[in-house]
Amino acid sequence: MRERGFTLFELILVVAMLGVLAVTGLPRFINLSDNAKDSSMESTVGALRSSLAIYRANDAATTSTDGNYPVVLDMTAVGSPCSTCFSALLANGLQDSAWSKDADHSYTYNDGINVTTFTYNSTNGTFD
C-alpha cells in the first residue's frame, strides 16, 4: 500500500513560492508606517486650513466686516511639543508629540525621518 503525502520537491517549491511572495510584498508594509505619518500631518494641516476659513467667516458674520484671522493659533510656549497646539481653531487643541512650536507663528512636524516646517500668516490666513 502506498502512503500519501508531499514529496520533498513539492515542499521546497511551495516554500520558495512563499518566499518570493513575502519578498515582493515586504516593501509595501515597510512604507505603511511612513504613509500613515504623512497622512496624519496632511490631515492636521487640512483641518487647520478649513478651520481658518471658518474662523474668518464667523468673524465676518459677527462683526459685519470682511472678517479677520486669529492673531495666534494657540498660547503654547515656543520650543515645546504640541500638547495643546492650535487650540484657537481645534476644539481641544492638537495633542501630538510629532508637532512642536518653534516660534510665535512657526510649527514643525517631525515624523522621525523628515522635518517639515509650517508658518502661519495671520494677515492672509495661510498655513504653509
Average pLDDT rounded to a whole number, residues 12-21? 95
Q: What is the pLDDT of residues 69-82, one digit of tens each?
A: 999 999 999 999 99
Cell numbers for 62, please give them. 459677527
Check: CB of residue 100 under 8 Å from CB of residue 79.
yes
Answering whether pTM is above 0.85, one says no
- The sign of the CA dihedral 127, 52, 43, 97 is positive
Q: On the CB side of 76, how many CA atoms lie within 13 Å of its CA?
A: 27
Contacts (Cβ under 8 Å, ≥6 apart) of 61: 67
Grid cell in block for residue 97: 508629540
Whether residue 1 has pLDDT greater than 70: no
Segment 30-42 shows an average pLDDT of 88
